[in-house]
Amino acid sequence: MRPGRRAVSNSGGAETPGLWWQGGGSQHSTTHHPSSAPRRLRSPAACRVVGSVSGRFQIFWEDGIMSGYRHPKSSALDCVLSSFQMTNETVNIWTHFLPTWYFVWRFLVLSSSLDFCQEPYHWPLLIYLLLVCLYPFASSCAHTFSSMSVRARHICYFCDYGALSLYSLGCAFAYGAYTMPDHWVSGVLHHYFVPVAAFNSFVCTGLSCYSRFPELEHPRLSKVLRTAAFVYPFLYDNIPLFCRLLFCFWSNCTWNEAMAGYCYHLLFALLTGFLFASHLPERLAPGRFDYIGHSHQLFHICAVLGTHFQLEAILCDVCSRRTWLQDRLPAPGLPGTFGTAGLAFLGNVAIIGAFTSALPRAPGSFVSPPSVPTEAGRHMMLWGEQLGCKGLWGPSRPGTPQYSPPPPNGGRIG
């Protein structure tokens, strides 16, 4: 293994040394002696400057997260190994990877007691369970492999958004089959509830994927579009649940486990939306919650807890309302269940494919940015790794030799 420099062209056409550690066919970020940096850089403000000088990988930065970033050109193996190291994505990965296996275990246990193949009554539940297992797994994979490249990051989150859209459709299947208020059963809304939810999944995936395109130039617009993409199907899917809860409160109906579970589900859903939109607590104390406790980690935890309570409530309705529902509704058919779910899946895959093919026209998708940082800016970014930023691209591998670049402009900034 030997230290090496990779020449990178700056905006003036000169060759600027890109500081990487070469070995084993991959490139890794190096650590640098803080003694070679000017003292004025050793401050939290310098860390913010370090983040702002790199237009090339700006898409990887998150509000309020100042350190713990993985290398933005990691290999797939490096991404997997990083899940066992402490970065700002580690908890994000595990807070959805472990719940995936919890939901898989619940699915297997239910499969041993319920006849999903021979009883059409349980087909909507089967679709819901499959999609409940899918969305946390897709999220975990997206967070794991999103640091391979700018293009890979976009594709990973396109798939994540598609899985969330399909999960919203799974909720509609379950609510339409088991949770619909008594006086809405067999009504107009009940007949069109799932088909409209399938259409909503296309809108959700399309709008959320599109929101990544203006992310650099118009971050607020991007955030608004992405939030609306998921709030809209959530509100639609929960119309039967909202009405059922309101009717129950007004008529003083019997409070059962299903109603309690739905209330807990809605509580955690509201917390999930609040955390996603607010970026708290890291917005109040940038750099304090980089590794543990930032909003996206709490967002994952609340989402999983909400799904858990939702699953328990749906299972209560499946058992307690079975006789009443089967007396008033025909048995679900293949076209209305697996046919609709299959078409929705293919449609969402097509939407993801269309946006993936459009990536070269998306801001931040090019490997070469419109403006490359100056040589002084590059050195500032690299020095920030061992100053107050605590490792801009995450820790280097144990035993990696250190390399100190010569200070630009004789150690003067500007």
d(CA 214, CA 237) in angstroms, rounded, equals 28
Backbone dihedral region of 252: left (phi > 0), alpha (psi from -120 to 50 degrees) or beta?
A: left
Residues 411 and 9: their CA atoms lie apart, in Å, by 22
Q: Is 156 exposed, middle or buried (0-12, 13-18, 19+ CB in 10 A)?
A: buried
Check: CB of residue 363 under 8 Å from CB of residue 215. yes
Which DSSP state fits 372? Answer: P
**Would you say 27 and 8 are in contact if contact means Cβ atoms under 8 Å apart?**
no
Q: What is residue 177's DSSP assignment?
A: I
Residues 132 and 103: beta-carbon distance below 8 Å: yes
Distance CA 102, CA 85 (A): 23
Is the separation of the CB atoms in 127 and 338 below 8 Å?
yes
| Nearest-angstrom CA–CA distance, 196 and 129 | 20
How far, in Å, are 66, 79, 140, 142, 207 from residue 83 at the CA level? 19, 7, 10, 12, 30
Q: Is 143 annotated as a binding residue?
A: yes
Is 296 annotated in a binding site? The answer is yes
Tell me whether residue 300 is annotated as binding.
yes
The 3-state DSSP class for residue 64 equals coil
16 — phi, psi (to 5°)? -110, 130
Q: How far is CA 337 from CA 169, 170, 288, 331, in A?
A: 11, 10, 47, 11
The residue written with tokens 């419109």 in the block is 370
Which class for 138: exposed (0-12), middle (13-18), buried (19 or more C-beta within 10 A)?
A: buried
Query: Of 299, 307, 190, 310, whose CA–CA distance to 239 is shortest?
Result: 190
Q: Residues at the annotated binding site?
A: 143, 296, 300
Q: Residues at the annotated binding site for Zn(2+)?
A: 143, 296, 300
